[in-house]
Amino acid sequence: MPVKPSSRRAKSGGVFGQLRSKKKMFRAGLYARVSTNDQQTLPTQIRALREYAARRGWMMAIEAREVGSGAVGRKAREQVMEAARRREIDVVLVWRLDRWGRSVTDLLATLQELEHLGVGFVSLTEALDLTTPAGRAMAGLLAIFAEFEREILRERTRAGLAEARQNGKRLGRPETAGLHAAEIGKLFRAGVAKAAIARRLQIGRTSVRRILARPIAGRNMLGTKRANRSAGASPMPIPDPKLDQLLRTAIQQTKLLRLRYQDKDRIVEPHDYGQHNGVIKLLTRQIGGSSSGPLPNWRWMETGQISDAEMLDQTFPGGRPTPSGKHHNWDKLFIRVKPSKKKPN
């Protein structure tokens, strides 16, 4: 029986007649770093990285070397990350984890970004390969340690802030424009524009507007304290406790006062009570008693000259507009009567 000749057609290089796809060659980005110039491990790192890439059949697309502390900016590492963002490399190859990340948190952040970009990460010393399931599991453990490190830092920060508050230390940014609060108020009352105040004091216009928008007592009290402390001025006057309580109660309850001022008996409506130019004063509207002019009239009274003060049962409507229609600018306002709900006469 004749033997059938074999086919002369060349054998297929595929499986079951299907062509095999060519194996993709990974483009590797090599990164090596040493802390100081004294260390001679930089050539060793580069040699080991090149040999590993050759064994894996990877093409070296970029090679970055860096000498310096991990606490400062790493330009070479940023070049590798930029190459990964441009999809110029498929895997990052390093000698050791501490050569790449400043801390566990920093390491995890960069590894997560590489994962989102689809770029692998391999560390030779720790045998960490994020292109394998075991390497990705190790990355999950790193995430746990990173969260632990953040919690420790938060606890230390809270403890430090609490200790600083207990010692009376001021937290936050140091005051800059606030130091000029008294001068800002003085210039503004003199008719200087806000923009001119900012140029004269070399501060921002926003800071000037913010300081002028504060409550009168808060703004002037802050500025006066700072100014007196720097200029060595005399301390703030202390009001008489009994008279102080009486005046505050009368203003709060809108009760009339009978008092003696400058050797004259007067019946007044107490309106504003505070400190001005280092003197404690009371702004009153006199409605009865001795007066050198027609009543009612507005009068400033220095509390040091007030005597025989007593509160009457009669009330008055509340705050009334002064002849100028404006409130007085106090260095420190203690209390102000509430505005009247009735239309003033």
Residue with the two structure tokens 């997560």: 112
Domain limits for position 222? 177-231
Residue 82: its H or E element: helix 75-85
- The count of domains in the chain is 3
In a domain, 152, yes or no: no
Q: Are 293 and 232 in contact (CB under 8 A)?
A: no
Contacts (Cβ under 8 Å, ≥6 apart) of 167 = none
Q: Would 57 be classed as within a structural domain?
A: yes
327 domain residue, yes or no: yes
Q: Are residues 92 and 122 in the same domain?
A: yes
- Whether 33 and 58 share a structural domain: yes
Instruction: Supply the pTM of this predicted model.
Output: 0.38
Quick check: is 340 catalytic? no
Last residue of a domain, one of 231, 266, 296: 231
Exposed/middle/buried for residue 141 (C-beta within 10 Å: 0-12, 13-18, 19+)? exposed
Is 33 in the same domain as 134?
Answer: yes
Query: Going residue by residue through the chain (345 aa), what tens digit of pLDDT does each one get?
Result: 565 665 555 555 554 445 555 556 789 999 988 876 556 678 888 899 999 999 988 898 889 888 876 556 678 888 999 999 998 999 999 888 778 877 777 877 888 888 888 888 888 887 778 777 877 777 677 667 767 777 888 888 888 888 877 777 777 766 677 778 888 888 888 888 888 888 888 888 888 888 888 755 444 434 444 444 444 444 566 778 888 888 989 988 889 999 988 888 899 999 889 888 778 888 888 888 887 778 888 888 888 888 888 999 888 887 776 665 555 677 888 888 877 666 545
Of residues 7, 35, 230, 234, which has the active-site annotation? 35
SS3 (DSSP) at 87: coil
Note whether 199 and 300 are same-domain residues.
Answer: no
CA distances for 237 relative to 85, 243, 275, 279, angstroms: 67, 14, 8, 7
Collapsed DSSP state (helix, strand, coil) of residue 98: helix
**CATH number, domain containing residue 114:** 3.40.50.1390
**CA-to-CA distance for 138 and 130, rounded, in angstroms?**
8
